[in-house]
Structures are given as C-alpha cells and as structure tokens.
A and B are shown apart, each in its own frame.
Chain A
Amino acid sequence: MQAAALTAWELFCRRGDRLLFGPLDLCLEPGAALHLTGPNGIGKTSLIRMLAGLLRPFVAYGMGSSAMGSITWQGTLALLDERPALDQHLPLGKALAFWHGIDGGRAPAERLGLAHLLDVPVRYLSTGQKKRAALARVIGQGADHWLLDEPLNGLDRDGVALVEDLIAERRAQGGVVVIASHQPVELPGAQTIDLRDHPA
C-alpha cells in the first residue's frame, strides 16, 4: 500500500457569515482523481483554494469537533483557476517564458494549439485560448499534483478532450488531480464529491 498523496481532515469552509460545507475528510492515493461538483456558490473554488494552501480551513468550534482542519500533500502542487497569471500586455511566449524561468520546465505550446499565438499579447487571446495558455503554465510547472478549478470553461470540444488526456497522463505518473467543474469530465475511476452532500 502506497502512502496517500493527499490527506485532509475536518475541513470546514466559511465565507462571510455562512458556513458552506464541512466537515469534509479526503484521502487520495497517488494517481487518483477527485471531481468536485455542486451548484454555484457551494464552495468548490473555496475548497480548491483551501487545498492549495491559499485559504485557511475554518476552525468550527462546537460543530461536533474541535479539531483544526489539516491538509497534507506528498509532492508539489499546481493550480489552474480563472486567473491566468500571465502578463496581459506581453506576447504569450514571453509571458510563459517568465514562468519557465522560475519553474525550469517548458510548456508544450504545439500540443495545446498555441504555437501560432506566441507573438500575440495575452490580452488579445480569447477565453478558450487564455485557458489553454494557463494550462501550458500548469504543465510547464512540472508539479506532482494538479488543482484545476473549472478547467473546461471556454474550451472547445478538442480542448476538452485534450484536458482529459493531460489529466490521464498526470495520473499515470502518480499525480493526484482535483477538478472542480459543473461540466461532465471523462475521468475513469474518479471519486466524485458533491458538496451538497456535506452541508455544514
């Protein structure tokens, strides 16, 4: 039995005055995929940001537990959300090159259908092209595990198939992929969590 790639205990999420979900426990083996579903505002993005370490789990005293929520990853993380983190006025190639300089990896522009766009400033890219560019950044990072928040938004049918392939490849290499999406995603053997089933 391999060590779990992600273990998370007692996750509660509070936005403003409302408790969105919790307690939520997660345990994912290397190569596993987790599909988060649920209606808008249920806390999918908050959970992704929590798993990324950007949002602290809410400590719900008196909610049947007094434990601090804890999240433990074995390996490095990459995050894809609605913000591309690419400089808007720079040509795509240079905007990606900034992250190559930090990560050392190289994004497969051809495979993502970006090869002819490398001279185009990021702000002129369409929604789907920006999503592909952000995916290129994620792949170039070379992280072990991926957190994808609505990765299919704005992508065409080829793009969706490409994302599914990329996720399958990441999982084949032992990476955990967590996807928050209200669209159906082809994820063989994935665990699905509907956050409506974990009301606070």
Chain B
Amino acid sequence: MSGALLSILHRDLSLLLFGRRNATVLPVLFFLAVAMLFPFAVGPDAQLLARTGGGVIWVAALLAAILPLDRLIEPDIELGMFDQWTLRGISEEWIVAVRVLAHWLSFGPPLMLASLIAAGLLGLDGTTLRTVEIGLLVGTPGLAALGVTVAALTAGLRGGAALAGLLVIPLAVPLLIFGAGSLSTGGEGGLALTGAVSLVLLAIAPFAAGAAIRSSRG
C-alpha cells in the first residue's frame, strides 16, 4: 500500500512539477507578474508599497494557486486512473491526500522562493518578509487542500475550470484574512489562526474530495 502511494506521489510530482500539467512554472510567473505590475499601477511611493506589499503577495499567491485547478483531478478521472486505483483497493481518500501533498510541493515552496523576489520588487523590510514567508508556509497547505477539494467537486462539470476558481476565492477568504492580517498586527495570533484554518482544510480535503470523486462516477 505505501509502496503504491509512493509510486502515485512520484507520478503526481513529475506531472505537476515538470510534466504537461505544469502547475509550477505558470503560477510562479503569474505571481511574479502581479508583484511586478503592482508598483507600476500604484506608483513608486516606497512607503505605500512597503505597507501594502505583504497583502499584494498574499492576493497574488491565492490567485496563482487557482491556475492549475482544472488539471489536478479531472484528467485522471477521464483517463480512468481513479477506477484502476479503486480496483486495486487504494481508496480515493489516500489518493487525494497524496495529491494534496504533491500539489502543495509543486506550488507552495516555489511561491515562497518567488516571494523573496516579490519582496524586493515591492520593497518589503525584513520583518514583513519574515511574517509573509511564515504565513505562506502555514497557509499554502490549506490552499492546496482547498484547491484539490474544489477541483474534485467541479471535475466533469461544464465550465468546471472557471467554476473552480470562483468557488475557491470565497472559501479562501479566512486564510487571506488571517494570513494577510498577521502583517498589520505583526502578531503570532494571525499566523496561528492561518495554521488552524489550514489544518481544518487539510483534515476535510481527503474525505470531501474522495466522496466527490466517487459520486462523479454516477
């Protein structure tokens, strides 16, 4: 069982990181593009940029996480992969758990690295950057869990990709409020709440997405 899950994790990662599903390069470029465009739009006021930059990074990270949603679950349903895994006694819940891990690895750490560049573009100071990085570290796993859940729920629907994006945004609002909120208060309370929301999403995701995949078989 664990050997099979490792094989699946390996496949997920090679598809998401390097493969056709390209869930790393595009979101990171998109993220950097937002961080680059923001100073052009609001002007070169260094104080304003430093004050709002952390929030911009959070919004950009949230939007970047939406990009690969349509390639997270649906292609494997269409290929019949889930049916074959089920026949081998590997439950949808385990596969979703593995997929959440793979999805997070493919966009969380890359976004945290890209945040270093974005912080330079926006002129963030060291303390803010540290809070942003810790916030992303505890917040992006929740984003990954939410993304996989919504991807499973909308798989096979007409316009599922657009719908997935629209569904993720309101559900990700708690992460955004606590994550970006920790910047203005500078406190650890916001980060702790971000982590709490993440943990709840991580705990729900395998069961919600697993049930969604089963019911999509009709």
Q: Which of B101-132 contact A (CB under 8 A)?
A: none
Chain B residues with CB below 8 A from A88, complex form = 79
Contacting residues, chain A, for B159 (C-beta < 8 A): none
Range, interface on chain B: 20 to 34
Contact A52 B87 (CB under 8 A): yes
CB of B4 within 8 A of chain A? yes
In which size bucket is the chain A interface? 20 to 34
- Encoded as 1 (CB less than 8 Å from any A CB) or 0, chain B from 43 to 85 comes to 0000000000000000000000000000000000011110110
Q: In the complex, which residues 71-119 of chain A have their Cβ closer than 8 Å to any Cβ of chain B? A: 77-79, 81, 83-89, 98-99, 101-103
Check A53/B80 contact, CB under 8 A, given A89-B20, A98-B7, A102-B4. no
Name B19's closest neighbour in chain A (CB-CB): A89
Which of B8, B11, B90 has most A Cβ within 10 Å? B11
Q: Within 8 Å of chain A (Cβ to Cβ): is B158?
A: no
Contact B19 A53 (CB under 8 A): no
Asked whether any CB of chain B lies closer than 8 Å to the CB of A54, the reply is: yes
Tell whether, in the assembled complex, residue B15 and residue A102 are in contact, meaning their CB atoms are under 8 Å apart. no
Whether B84 and A79, one on each chain, are in contact in the complex, defined by CB atoms closer than 8 angstroms, is yes
> Is A55 among interface residues, defined by CB-CB distance under 8 A?
yes
Interface contact A102-B88, CB-CB below 8 Å: yes
- A54 near B4 with CB under 8 A, answer no
Question: B79: which of A53, A79, A84 is its contact (CB, 8 Å)?
Answer: A84
Asked whether B88 lies within 8 Å of A53 as measured between CB atoms, the reply is no
Q: What residues of chain A lie closer than 8 Å to B4, measured between beta carbons?
A: 101-102
Cβ 8 A contact of A85, one of B20, B83, B217, B218? B83
Which of A54, A78, A85 is in CB contact (< 8 Å) with B81? A85
- Tell me the minimal C-beta distance from A142 to chain B in angstroms: 11
Which residue among A81, A86, A87 has the maximum number of chain B CB atoms within 10 Å of its CB?
Answer: A87
Q: Interface SS of chain A: helix, strand, loop or mixed?
A: loop
Contact string, B200-215, partner A, CB cutoff 8 A, digits 1/0?
0000000000000000
* B184: Cβ under 8 A from any A Cβ: no
Q: Are the C-beta atoms of B84 and A85 separated by less than 8 Å?
A: yes
Shortest distance from the beta carbon of B213 to any chain A beta carbon, whole Å: 11
Q: How far is the CA of A53 from the CA of B80 in the complex (A)?
A: 14
Query: Please, which residues of chain A bring their CB within 8 A of the CB of B20?
Result: 89
Per the bound structure, the CA–CA distance linking A99 and B80 in Å amounts to 13
Query: Given A83-B79, A83-B80, A88-B79, 15 more contacts at CB 8 Å?
Result: A54-B86, A55-B217, A77-B87, A78-B87, A81-B80, A84-B79, A85-B79, A85-B80, A85-B81, A89-B19, A101-B4, A101-B7, A102-B4, A102-B8, A102-B88
Binding site for A on B (CB under 8 A): 3-4, 7-8, 10-11, 15, 19-20, 78-81, 83-84, 86-88, 90, 217-218
What is the interface of chain A, defined by CB distance below 8 A to chain B? 49, 52-55, 77-79, 81, 83-89, 98-99, 101-103, 137, 141, 143
3 closest Cβ contacts across the A-B interface?
A: A83-B80, A101-B7, A85-B80
